[in-house]
Structure 1
Amino acid sequence: MMDLAHREKLRTVATDFLEGRLSPLEAAWALASLEDEAPDDLRRLLTPMVGVTSETDDIPLGHRRALWHPDVRALEDQKHDEAQAWAEPTVRLVCERLVQAL
């Protein structure tokens, strides 16, 4: 069962995305990591995040992105940007629903 701290983490991630502090993929990965611990009503909301992470698991984020060679990173920028744009509507909808549910 998800305790109060986990619910707060969900709220924080959702709010951070909605307020522009997290990218769509960063939010999706953070939310997907909490899916197993979520109660059924919230787990249903988080299920799309598992799909987003599955489709974008080859996109480096955060500190991992900085580890890539600049030439390779430049070539991957378009793929990264397309993945972020593709994920954005789904992540936004999930985050809006989470904020309402929590």
Structure 2
Amino acid sequence: MAARNSLDTGSGKDSKEKAIKTARAVLDGKMGIIEGARLLSTLAPDLVPDWNFLVLAALDSETDDLPVGKERKLWDATALAERDPVISQIEADAKQEVEVACRNILRRFDPAS
């Protein structure tokens, strides 16, 4: 049996719980739009291929060269300062569409929503 790595999303149930937690974090402002989209897009194959996850995957692909979340700690301050305006603009432009996708994910997978 192959060893699991940190990129494995796990079972469908684990992915569903991670999707719920991530969508809530985005909507509550505890996680950035790009970071949340990246994480949610990785969960799509374990859940369902649908529009909500395609929106997130597109944003992930568009921004894969931008430092967000924990990876920011690995970047030089000058490089971060150069990319931060780009990140802010992309997050502002994508915010409404990503929030709609997050709400749809919660409605679909979280019985409490």
The answer, yes or no, to whether TM exceeds 0.5 is: yes
Tell me how large the CA RMSD over aligned residues is. Answer: 1.5
Partners in 2 of 1:79 and 1:85 — Cα distance?
10
Structure number with greater CO (CA < 8 Å, separation at least 6) is: 1
Q: Counterpart of 1:5? A: 14
Match of 1:80 among 84, 87, 94: 87
Change beyond 3 A, Cα 1:69–1:95: same
Give unmatched runs, 5+ long, in structure 2. Answer: 1-10
Deviation at 1:19, TM superposition (A): 1.3
Unmatched 5+ stretches in structure 1: none
Q: Identity percentage over the alignment?
A: 26
Instruction: Kindly report which structure 2 residues correspond to 1:6-85, keeping only aligned pairs within 5 A, or say none.
Output: 6-39=15-48, 43-44=49-50, 45-85=52-92
The number of equivalent residue pairs is 98
**TM-score (norm. length: structure 2):** 0.77
